[in-house]
């Protein structure tokens, strides 16, 4: 398959290793990856913060960039949920029927990374080795919007050497919520404190997720507390063939 | 306009939340109580194979009722009146307070007994009655605790959820003059019972809310767990029910759905211990006089908006509070409204103008737990975003708002996201600009201005020197060889 990578704005800027890992995994499975340089952002930050009309041109830009793509993949459930839950609404709000049609035509070809592997490609074993204790943070958008269910777990279970440790209250939000983490920094920090406590309780070496946004938040606290626990996007674990954690 | 919400202050959610986060006792109580209710709720919801179908049905019934609210309210009025009840229409809190006071005064009553009614908290009824020499007695155990403790409700199903047993004992010891009172649940219940029984038998006027109004037969429905409601509904001579106009459902058989979803969502019970449904008045049975006050108080404007109308589907089960990770941390008082939690975050700003509730739509990480448990499928995150849009619009209508840091930041980011050239430039500027904030360990530990909220408890990894797109460009130019190198360089617009 020819797969177009939507890296997402924050992964591009902050977590290039995740993008490289996605490329490695998909190429290892025999697919051709393309990267459209015109891409920028899905518009989520603006939309979720209430800058609704400012989000529309960003959405339009996304649709223009990928209009003719065979398949699009993004290593972020929250960006995909932005598209699935809000793009049509945004088009409607802007009174742009053409955009609504374009969105409807494009979105069935847009996948979150683990969803693409398991649902579309029917692959669970991607040939990874990662001999470490890992716990999975189930991000809100992956469970409540994309309904990924056990997809990330199935992928992790096939990784050689990986020991997956269960976490308490997996359904509870880490408190990131985009600009929520700044606008309500105190509540967000209190939520994070609970999440980090449950992560530390697992005794895992690595906390993973399908979203770097949550992981950036969780690691922000893990690092502030100078703990030993690292975070790694699931793509980085699936790309690993036995080297360093 | 509505009466002053005097016992709720005007402070912002972040401000109030900060104060409540410092109260470890409240946080512990709230967390324990919501965990217990959540677990019960999940158990009894999980045993229903058709739960999703019930939610769908409940949502459809409520949405239909709201779309034809005018017709159903008039149908309810007609049928309730025919059955011997009297229906009053109150435009706002002041009008409702006036009507209720006049009714009580017409019976020369100096005291009333009350069933838990959050609508009466919404209009500040108790304060209005007290100011006019009438003493209201709350009979719901939790509302009694709140009343005796000179407190505010923090939850609309379990108003005293922020108090633990020892604190309840202290309130009862002090306020009921029972210095020897123990702290076992049966001790506390016995004290409340002894205090309340006498009032049920003596006081002739009762005030209630309602869970549902049934249009087709003029019936009123109240569900409860303690039996205090049944006493108030049957013993007094006069019953006054204050009900928001959105509470009407078309047919009696709609209760088949609602009385399954409401108790399971609210208290984790399959059925409420007491389910009272009555129509008008009946000779020799129950109150001799029955009044319903239909309260608007800001509801009609919500109906007009297609985006936000679903807010009024709410049946006040509070499942969204119990599921909300923000509410878990702060409890209800941080929302400065009788309607706290996720539903409060969308209802309060709409009921009492956006000015009071500007920060409430932002009191959510948009995690979606509220929508997942809502028995009438209110997409709370969607409405939160819609309301955030209104806050931003309001901001942008003033010069101060236009020049505010948030607006400028968002406009700049929006501009950068508009094309890859600008975006790449912004990335490279970020890599340079961060230098003054990056510590020796490669992390950002202090950020200025509004961004300092992040670094108060969290570090931030510095932006790597190579973005993904730069890496890709490098890889492509390496692959395409020197002949094509000039084309492989990273983007332009």
Residues 153-182 of B with CB under 8 A from A: none
| Alpha-carbon span B199 to B210, nearest angstrom | 21
User: Has residue B450 got a pLDDT over 90?
Assistant: no
Q: Running along chain A, 245 residues long, what does each successive block of 10 average in pLDDT?
A: 96 98 98 98 97 97 97 98 98 97 98 98 98 98 98 98 97 96 97 98 98 98 97 98 65
Contact A12 B427 (CB under 8 A): yes
Contact A189 B491 (CB under 8 A): no
ipTM higher than threshold 0.95:
yes
Using the CB atoms, write b or e for B390-421: b if 16+ within 10 Å: bbbeebbeeeeeeeeebbebbeebbebbbbbb
Residues B2 and B352 sit within 8 Å (Cβ to Cβ): yes
Minimal Cα–Cα distance from B114 to chain A, Å?
A: 35
Q: Which residues of chain A lie closer than 8 angstroms to B392, CB-CB? A: 49-52
| Most B-contacting residue of A185, A212, A231 (CB-CB within 10 A), to test interface | A185
Contact B458 A220 (CB under 8 A): yes
CB-defined contacts A:B, below 8 A? 194
Q: Which residues of chain A lie closer than 8 angstroms to B17, CB-CB? A: 184, 186-187
User: Has residue B228 got a pLDDT over 60?
Assistant: yes
Residues 320-379 of B with CB under 8 A from A: 325-326, 328-330, 359, 361-369, 371-372
For residue B329, report the phi and psi dihedrals to the nearest 5 degrees: -80, -40
Q: Is the dihedral of CA B336, B339, B341, B346 positive or negative?
A: negative
Domain boundaries, chain A: 2-120, 133-239
User: Has residue B33 got a pLDDT over 60?
Assistant: yes
CATH 3.40.50.10420 fits B34-164+196-302, yes or no: yes
Q: In which band, very low, low, confident or very high, does the pLDDT at B482 lie, cut at 50, 70 and 90? A: low
Residues B97 and B123 sit within 8 Å (Cβ to Cβ): yes
Domain boundaries, chain B: 34-164+196-302, 417-488
Residues B378 and B343 sit within 8 Å (Cβ to Cβ): yes
Tell me the pLDDT tens digit for each residue of B311-328. 999 999 999 999 999 999
pLDDT value for B305: 87
Class of domain A133-239: alpha beta
3-state secondary structure at position B109: coil
Average pLDDT, chain B: 94
Residues 92-151 of A with CB under 8 A from B: 140-141, 144-145
Instruction: Give chain B's largest Cα–Cα span.
Output: 101
Minimal Cα–Cα distance from A184 to chain B, Å?
A: 6
Instruction: Give chain A's largest Cα–Cα span.
Output: 53
pLDDT value for B6: 57
Minimal Cα–Cα distance from A217 to chain B, Å?
A: 7
Comparing A147-151, B105-109, B448-452, the range with the smallest average pLDDT is B448-452
pLDDT value for B9: 85
């Amino acid at each position: 398959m020819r797969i177009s990578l939507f890296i997402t704005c924050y992964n591009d800027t902050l977590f290039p290793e995740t993008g490289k890992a996605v490329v490695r995994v998909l190429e290892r499975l025999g697919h051709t990856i393309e990267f459209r340089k015109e891409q920028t952002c899905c518009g989520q930050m603006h939309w979720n913060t209430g800058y609704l009309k400012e989000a529309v041109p960003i959405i339009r830009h996304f649709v223009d960039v990928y209009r003719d793509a065979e398949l699009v993949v993004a290593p972020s459930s929250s960006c995909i949920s932005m598209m699935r839950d809000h793009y049509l609404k945004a088009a409607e709000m802007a009174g742009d029927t053409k955009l609504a049609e374009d969105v409807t035509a494009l979105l069935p070809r847009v996948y979150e990374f683990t969803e693409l592997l398991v649902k579309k490609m029917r692959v669970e074993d991607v040939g990874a080795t990662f001999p470490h204790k890992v716990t999975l943070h189930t991000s809100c958008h992956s469970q409540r919007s994309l309904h990924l269910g056990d997809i990330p777990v199935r992928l992790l279970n096939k990784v050689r050497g990986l020991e997956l440790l269960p976490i308490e209250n997996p359904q509870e939000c880490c408190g990131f919520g985009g600009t929520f983490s700044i606008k309500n920094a105190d509540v967000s920090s209190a939520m994070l404190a609970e999440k980090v406590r449950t992560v530390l309780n697992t005794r895992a070496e690595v906390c993973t997720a399908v979203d770097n946004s949550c992981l950036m938040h969780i690691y922000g606290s893990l690092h502030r507390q100078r703990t030993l626990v690292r975070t790694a996007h699931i793509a980085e674990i699936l790309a690993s063939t036995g080297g360093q954690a | 306009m509505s009466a002053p919400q005097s016992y709720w202050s005007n402070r912002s959610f972040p401000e109030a939340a900060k104060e409540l986060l410092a109260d470890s006792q409240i946080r512990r109580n709230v967390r324990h109580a919501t965990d217990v209710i959540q677990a019960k709720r999940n158990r009894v919801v999980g045993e229903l194979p058709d739960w999703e179908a019930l939610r769908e049905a409940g949502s459809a019934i409520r949405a239909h009722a709201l779309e034809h609210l005018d017709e159903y309210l008039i149908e309810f009025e007609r049928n309730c009146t025919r059955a011997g009840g009297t229906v009053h229409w109150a435009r706002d809190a002041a009008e409702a307070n006036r009507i209720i006071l006049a009714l009580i005064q017409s019976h020369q009553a100096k005291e009333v007994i009350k069933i838990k009614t959050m609508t009466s908290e919404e209009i500040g009824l108790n304060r209005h009655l007290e100011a006019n020499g009438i003493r209201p007695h709350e009979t719901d155990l939790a509302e009694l605790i709140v009343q005796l403790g000179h407190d505010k409700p923090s939850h609309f199903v379990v108003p005293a959820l922020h108090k633990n047993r020892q604190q309840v004992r202290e309130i009862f010891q002090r306020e009921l003059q029972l210095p020897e009172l123990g702290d076992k649940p049966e001790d506390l219940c016995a004290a409340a019972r002894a205090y309340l029984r006498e009032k049920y038998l003596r006081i002739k006027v009762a005030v209630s809310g309602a869970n549902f109004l049934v249009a087709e037969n003029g019936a009123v429905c109240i569900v409860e767990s303690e039996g205090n409601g049944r006493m108030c509904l049957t013993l007094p001579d006069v019953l006054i029910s204050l009900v928001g106009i959105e509470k009407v459902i078309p047919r009696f058989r709609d209760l088949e759905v609602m009385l399954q979803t409401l108790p399971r969502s609210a208290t984790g019970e399959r059925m409420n211990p007491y389910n009272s449904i009555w129509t008008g008045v009946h000779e020799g049975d129950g109150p001799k006089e029955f009044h319903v006050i239909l309260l608007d108080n800001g509801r009609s404007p919500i109906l007009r908006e297609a985006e936000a109308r679903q807010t009024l589907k709410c049946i006040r089960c509070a499942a969204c509070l119990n599921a909300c990770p923000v509410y878990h941390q702060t409890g209800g008082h941080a929302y400065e409204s009788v309607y706290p939690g996720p539903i409060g975050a969308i209802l309060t700003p709409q009921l009492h103008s956006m000015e009071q509730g500007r920060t409430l739509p932002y009191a959510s990480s948009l995690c979606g737990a509220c929508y997942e448990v809502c028995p009438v499928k209110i997409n709370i995150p969607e409405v939160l975003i819609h309301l955030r849009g209104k806050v931003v619009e309001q901001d942008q209508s003033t010069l101060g708002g236009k020049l505010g840091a948030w607006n400028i930041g968002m406009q700049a980011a929006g501009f950068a996201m508009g094309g890859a050239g600008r975006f790449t430039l912004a990335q490279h500027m970020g890599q340079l600009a961060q230098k003054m904030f990056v510590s020796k360990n490669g992390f950002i530990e202090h950020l200025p201005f509004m961004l300092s909220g992040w670094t108060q408890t969290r570090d931030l990894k510095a932006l790597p020197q190579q973005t993904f797109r730069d890496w890709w460009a490098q890889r492509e130019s390496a692959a395409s060889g020197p002949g094509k190198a000039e084309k492989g360089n990273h983007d332009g617009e």
